[in-house]
Each structure stands twice: as C-alpha cells, then as structure tokens.
Amino acid sequence: MHITQLNRECLLHLFSFLDNNSRKSLAKTCHKLLEVFQDPLLWSLLNFHSPAELKKDNFLLGPALKYLSICWYSERVKVCNIEDWMKNNFQKDFCNRHENTVNDFLLEVCNRCPNLLSLTLSGCGHVTDDCILLLLKNCPNLKTLKLENCVRITDRTLEAVTLYGGSLQTLHVDFCRNITQTGLERVREKCPSVTLKAERSANMIPDNKPEKKFMLEKASRKLVQL
C-alpha cells in the first residue's frame, strides 16, 4: 500500500511523529500530504528551541494550538539578559537582530490561537509585560503560564494575571529579576487558587540605571548614619 492510500486519520497520526522540518519536506511530495500538513488538528502542540525557529515556514498557527513552548537555552541567551544600559555596541547589535521576534510571534498567537491552554517561555529576554497582558486577554482559557529568565517581565505581568487570568491554574515566574515580593503577594491574595512558583525572582537584584543605583546607595548611607 502506498502512503497516500491511507486515510486522513492515519496520515495525521504518522505526521505527528515527525518534527516540523520533516513534516514540511514530506508535504512537498504530493497534494494529499500537503493537505495533511495544513490540517489544523496536526498543530495542537508547538515546541521551539530558539527565536530563529519562529521565522521558519514549517508550522501553522490556528485555533487548534493548545500547548506552546519557546525555550532558548543557548549560551547566547546571556547577552539578551544583560541590562540594556550595560550592553556594549556588539551586544546591542546582536540583540537588535531578534529583539521583536518572540513578541511579534506571540502577537500572532494572540490573534490566531484563542484556545491556548499552556505557554512556557524560557530565556526570552525581550518578552514584555504588554505582550503577556495581551495574550492573557486574548487567550481566556490559558491554564498554565511559565516564565523563566524573562528579564523584562515585571509586576505589571503579575497585575495582569489578577485581572485577566481567570482560568489560570499554574503560574511560574522563575529567575525573573524584576519581579518583586510585593507583586507576588498580590497574586497570592487575589488569586489564591493559582499555584504560584517564583524561584529566586524576588531575591534577585532588579535592573536599575546608574542614577537610580546612586540614589539608592545615597539613601542607604543616610539610613546608616541615622
């Protein structure tokens, strides 16, 4: 039996074992397999290991997407997580190449994937509070939100959770250095049913520009003198 003689259900099952690149390559062989590749049912789960993968035309976004993960564990992620005001020109140039990549992709998710249930972002140093807020608004069924080492995430995201995360059951904000203990306590108070985890976040030194650090040090010296 030729593979194209299999019914749609069997073909979808076979495609599910392939990675995105293999799916796209197979889809190029004939119209029937291309139709399977374009079936929304095939794309309920997406895993990406670098922002560059988001630019590849080897997947589909649609209402069937339930689980999304973007985890960048490369050593290069350290560059993006450096405070903006501390980056040298080379580091700034590197970051500028993909600064909006993840945010733009998540905006597409907001518009096309209203049934998203789970989102995991790790090492996405350019993701903003505004982007997460919009996603919470547009994906009302979101049950799991895991953010790890996303340095631009602040208490504004935690506030958005209390306002728009009505379906949220699990919230992780690990190693997000601009999250505060006050923000975490607000979530615990307003969303007691949410399982909250914040490893190291509230204990890390937040981003401050030099003038702000100077003012903090000056205030600290005054307190010591008193």
Q: Where are the alpha helices (DSSP H) in 3-64?
A: 8-15, 20-27, 31-37
Q: Are residues 29 and 117 in the same domain?
A: no
Could you read off the pLDDT of 1-21 as tens digits, one per residue? 688 889 999 999 999 999 999
Q: What is the value of pTM for the model shown?
A: 0.82
Q: Are residues 25 and 119 in the same domain?
A: no
pLDDT recorded at residue 106: 96
Domain limits for position 2: 1-40
Q: Is 26 within a domain?
A: yes
Are the C-beta atoms of residues 41 and 64 closer than 8 Å to each other? Answer: yes
Element (H, E) at 149: none
pLDDT recorded at residue 140: 96
Residues of the chain with pLDDT under 50: 222
Q: Is 112 within a domain?
A: yes
pLDDT recorded at residue 163: 96
> Residue type at 6?
L
Number of structural domains, the chain?
Answer: 2
Q: Are residues 6 and 32 in the same domain?
A: yes
Could you read off the pLDDT of 54-71 as tens digits, one per residue? 989 999 999 999 999 999
CATH number, residue 175: 3.80.10
Quickly count helices (H) and strands (E) in the chain.
10, 6
Q: Are residues 116 and 142 in the same domain?
A: yes
Q: Is 212 within a domain?
A: no
Q: Are residues 77 and 106 in the same domain?
A: yes
